[in-house]
Amino acid sequence: MLRQLELRGESDLERVEPAVREVLAAVKREGDAAVRRYVRQFERREPEALLLGDYGGEAALSSLDPALAAALTEAAARIRRFHEHQAAQTASFEYEEGGVRLGTRVRPLGRVGVYAPGGKARYPSSVLMCAVIARVAGVREIIVATPDASLEVRAACHLAGVDAILDAGGAQAIAALAHGTETVPRVDKIVGPGNIYVAAAKRLVFGQVDIDSIAGPSEILVIADDSADADVIAADLLSQAEHDEAAYPLLLTTCSALAAKVQAALAVRLAELPRRAIAEASVEANGWALVAPDAEALIAIANRLAAEHVALHVKDAREVAARVSHAGALFIGGMTPEAAGDYVAGPSHVLPTGGAARYGSPLGVYDFVARTSLIQYSAEALVAAAPGIETLARAEGLEAHARAVSVRTSKTSRG
């Protein structure tokens, strides 16, 4: 069963790829006409304009319930503040050593597309968690692709400083961003979560543009000991289960009695949940309680699973956090709900899923910049380095490489 959970990231994108390839090719070939056709076919509507520069974001924010407007504004500010700290760690640098000047120049991407889902999942928070970070990184132009944008999404776009909304969703929106059309400019990178068609489209356009990741179903791993509150754990598990029938709510504990209490608490909470059908399907299909023999096994299993969200309901939570090396985000201590990270804490909630936390990272400022290496040799430094360069080049059978060095050093020695 543990092996089955480790392989949860293996998706069935291949199943939809033929249809997605057709959409990508049509948009590349026909531009706006194809995008409009697919919006009519899949979204059952006719957009007045595909690209909305004036999307009414300020008016949308003013029209929201004041409490919601204030919450979105505060969330945007906290996300901005966190990523301004992160940006300070993502700076250009140069240094000189022995006549060689080396460095890295960091520059923001020119244009980025942010995908914001429609349908079941109209999440203004996802706009903030992508677009605010892009703006902090210095991205010149941000386009949000979202089908029939709600007032909440438009307000979030305004708070994040989004330049335009692409009024389309699905693979057709990804195609327009990746290839460009008569009205939609081509972007350098596409970020943000979406359904299986969006994920497949992002995977297929990677290389023509950059992407953040291929997002799978949401997941939470609660690590708990006998000090934990079963009802609070159940609430945390359901906070992810209600996202999607395919979500993974997982409990990992050393206490079998706690696992039984959590199961009972889940039944009570499910009965009163507005999105009960979705959450119940998630719990039944992918909900697991894993009982480990000891704390060492607990940590080892957590690192094997490499979950998107890892919540630590344990004594000495900071100590345990230091040993969990594979996690998209760690929620440390029983008073830290995963929902805080989804909305207001500050770090992006766009996280690696399906075990990708073994090598992946949360979306951050570093995802919206490109780096250029800077290399400058003085004449004296090249003469000193020449023997090693030429030896390595000839060892690899690349004589022209060696001669590109010797043609310089020979002139230096004659001079």
Please give the angle made by the CA atoms of 306, 344 and 268, to the nearest 5 degrees.
70
Catalytic residue among 242, 308, 338, 390: 308
Pairing of strands 164-166, 51-52: antiparallel
| CA distances in angstroms from 408 to 268, 270, 379, 398, 415, listed in the order given | 78, 75, 8, 17, 11
Distance CA 51, CA 290 (A): 48
- Tell me, yes or no, if 296 is annotated catalytic: no
Rg (CA), the chain: 25
Cross-strand partners of 110: none
b or e along 218-227 (b: 16 or more beta carbons within 10 Å of the residue's beta carbon)?
bbbbbbbbee
Helices (H), 31-161: 32-38, 57-63, 66-87, 124-127, 133-137, 151-160
- Out of 83, 158, 179, 309, the active site residue is 309
Give the contacts of 50 (CB within 8 A, at least 6 positions apart): 32, 35, 36, 166, 167, 168, 176, 181, 183, 184
Query: 294-323: buried (b, 16+ CB within 10 Å) or exposed (e) per residue?
Result: eeeebbebbbebbbbbbbbbbeebeebbee
In degrees and rounded to multiples of 5, residue 148 shows phi and psi of 50, 65
Across-strand partners of 189?
Answer: 112, 210
* Whether 97 is catalytic: no
Edge-to-edge order in the sheet of strand 100-108: 93-97, 100-108, 369-377
Half-sphere exposure of 305 (CA within 13 A, CB side): 27
Phi then psi for 287, rounded to 5 degrees?
A: -85, 125
Are 196 and 12 contacting, i.e. CB atoms less than 8 angstroms apart? yes
Catalytic positions: 308-309
